[in-house]
Structures are given as structure tokens and as C-alpha cells.
């Protein structure tokens, strides 16, 4: 693309560094910005800069936070004795949006993946082990993906916590709510048969 100005080119290059955004989309974004007034472009730039200057990770659960500890860890309404282990803070957002959970989180910031060279020491497992307290913690919920990496990580953590004789649970797996059996893949369907629960 032959852009008529260096300023334009720089903006397009910067914006096209986002995942899934190519030069054409970046140019469309730049054109959108050029039509905005100065203050709203300034607000965007500030919001972007704030991400680096005003965000940190919670010292307890590694969730994103604006202060040393995140809102969830600080809240008196959350049950500190239940810890839900998730892969990243997006998963916290997903679980929070269900409105079904009132405990705390522990963000691993990744999953054990030997193929990618990610071992237990590369993710926030040691801080989880330090945090789990035999007398205080009631339950550790493993809410990791039903993938090889998720299962490996769940297995590793549950093995490490075994000796503490704390309740360790895993989120259930099966067919999706509203999902037709006909469209469920056979592994999921097989697992949901094995994992059937008594209802009467």
C-alpha cells in the first residue's frame, strides 16, 4: 500500500500489529480516527497508555488490578476460602459474567505445555501452592480448558495439593446447555455419558 504520508503510514503500521488486523482494516481505523475530533482521539491514546501505566497484577491472585490487590481479593463479599484456578484473566471475566461464583480466583497466566516449553515454574503455580492453606481453604476449583494442556495442569495442581486433603474439584464437562445431541462431538458425548449424574 502506497500511503501519501509518513504519519498515516506509521499509524497504519502500528494498528496493523494487532492480531487479526491487516493493513486495510488498519487504514479504515485510521480514516475513522481522522474524522474524530482531537479530544476523542486523545481519549483513545490516553486509554491505551493507561493500560501500561495504571494496570498491574494482583499480588494475591494475579488478576489485573489497578491497585496492589484486585477488587475481588479486596471484597468482603467474596468467599476467600474458595479458590477458582483459571488460565488467564479473560476466564475470570467469563466466570464473573455467569454470576454463579462468589469465591476468589487464582490466575495461572498460562497452562503447562511441554510442547511449547512451558513448565509448572513458568506459570503462577508456586504462588497458588503458597496461598492454599490447609486450615483456611475449603475448596480449590480447577476451571481449566478441557484440552491436553488444561488437563495436564489440573493433574499437576491436584497432585501437588493432594497431601493437604483439601476438596479439589473440576468444572463439569458434557454437552452444552441448549446443545442438540446430534451436533455434540463423540468424545464430549461419551464423557457426558460417563459423567452422568443421578437426578431422582
For a copy of itself, the binding residues (CB under 8 A) are: 1-8, 10-11, 13-15, 17-21, 25, 27-34, 36, 38, 40-55, 63-66, 70-72, 89-90, 92-93, 96-97
Q: How far is the CB of 179 from a copy of itself (least distance, A)?
A: 21
- SS3 track for the chain: CCCCCHHHHHHHHHHCCCCCCCHHHHHHHHHHHHHCCHHHHHHHHHHHHHHHHCCEECCCCCCEECCCCCHHHHCCCCEEEEEEEECCHHHHHHHHHHCCCCEEEEECCCCCEHHHCECHHHCCCHHHHHHCCCCCCCEEEECCCCCHHHHHHHHHHHHHHHHHCCEEEECCCCCCCCCCHHHCCHHHHHHHHHCCCCCC
Q: How far is the CB of 44 from a copy of itself (least distance, A)?
A: 4
Closest to a copy of itself by CB, 27 vs 140, is: 27
Q: Could you give phi then psi for residue 106, rounded to 5 degrees?
A: -140, 115
Q: How far is the CB of 165 from a copy of itself (least distance, A)?
A: 32
Is residue 169 within 8 Å of 139, Cβ to Cβ?
A: yes
Q: How far is the CB of 109 from a copy of itself (least distance, A)?
A: 11
Q: How far is the CB of 197 from a copy of itself (least distance, A)?
A: 29
Closest to a copy of itself by CB, 10 vs 126, is: 10
Q: How far is the CB of 28 from a copy of itself (least distance, A)?
A: 6
Closest to a copy of itself by CB, 29 vs 189, is: 29
Closest to a copy of itself by CB, 2 vs 165, is: 2
Closest to a copy of itself by CB, 53 vs 200, is: 53
How many residues does this entry show for the chain?
Answer: 200
Closest to a copy of itself by CB, 43 vs 187, is: 43
Amino acid at each position: 500500500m502506497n500511503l501519501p504520508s509518513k504519519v498515516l503510514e506509521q499509524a497504519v503500521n502500528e494498528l496493523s500489529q494487532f492480531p487479526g488486523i491487516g493493513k486495510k482494516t488498519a487504514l479504515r481505523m485510521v480514516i475513522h480516527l481522522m474524522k474524530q475530533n482531537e479530544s476523542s482521539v486523545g481519549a483513545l491514546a490516553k486509554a491505551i497508555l493507561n493500560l501500561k501505566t495504571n494496570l498491574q497484577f494482583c499480588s494475591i491472585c494475579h488478576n489485573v488490578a489497578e491497585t496492589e490487590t484486585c477488587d475481588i481479593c479486596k471484597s468482603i463479599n467474596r468467599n476467600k476460602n474458595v479458590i477458582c484456578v483459571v488460565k488467564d484473566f479473560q476466564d475470570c471475566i467469563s466466570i464473573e459474567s455467569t454470576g454463579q461464583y462468589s469465591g476468589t480466583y487464582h490466575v495461572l497466566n498460562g497452562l503447562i505445555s511441554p510442547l511449547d516449553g512451558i513448565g509448572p515454574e513458568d506459570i503462577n503455580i508456586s504462588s497458588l501452592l503458597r496461598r492454599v492453606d490447609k486450615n483456611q481453604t475449603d475448596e480449590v476449583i480447577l476451571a481449566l480448558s478441557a484440552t491436553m494442556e488444561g488437563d495436564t495442569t489440573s493433574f499437576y495442581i491436584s497432585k501437588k495439593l493432594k497431601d493437604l486433603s483439601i476438596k479439589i474439584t473440576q468444572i463439569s464437562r458434557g454437552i452444552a446447555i441448549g446443545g442438540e445431541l446430534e451436533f455434540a462431538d463423540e468424545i464430549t458425548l461419551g464423557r457426558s455419558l460417563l459423567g452422568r449424574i443421578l437426578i431422582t
